Amino acid sequence: MPLKPASDEPPRQSPSAPVRNPYILNFCKVLVEKKGEQHPPDALKKLLHDMYRLFEAMLGQNMVRALPEDLRRKYLTLCEDLSRLNYETIGDIFDKNVPQYEQVMKSTMKQFAEIFMRNRVFNPKDYPVPLKDDSE
């Protein structure tokens, strides 16, 4: 007889598990495919993780640049003391003051794709993947 969960609630991700935007993750996968790169599954997973993190950083920088100057200064001051910063505050600043967020996302994707396609040469040695123990 299969075990039944203790609760009807869906299982939660662990707190350390990152929440990933599936569209951005798919965008990264498409770039790798478009470039014609072939990788073992573990190396591809690591590469996509690194690409995702870089894209997030670029998007964050571009969103901050899209803020009006006075709000940009306010936000950067808040970032100096992270105890004063929370998702609600971030939402209040960006949701109301970056109305062209879709354009910022599109331009970031274009910027990221151009950099990736022009400069990146994959070398598995740059992305070491731990070897699995054959005894498992």
* CB distance 107 to 65 below 8 Å: no
pLDDT at 134: 47
Tokens representing residue 53 in the block: 């993190």
pLDDT at 28: 95
Is pTM, for the whole model, over 0.85? no
| Res 7 pLDDT > 50 | no
Helical H segments across the chain, by residue range? 22-34, 41-66, 69-80, 87-97, 101-119
Geometric angle at alpha carbon 128, from 112 and 14, rounded to 5°: 75
- Read off the amino acid at residue 95: D
Domain boundaries of the chain, sorted by first residue? 22-120
Residue with tokens 């991700």: 13
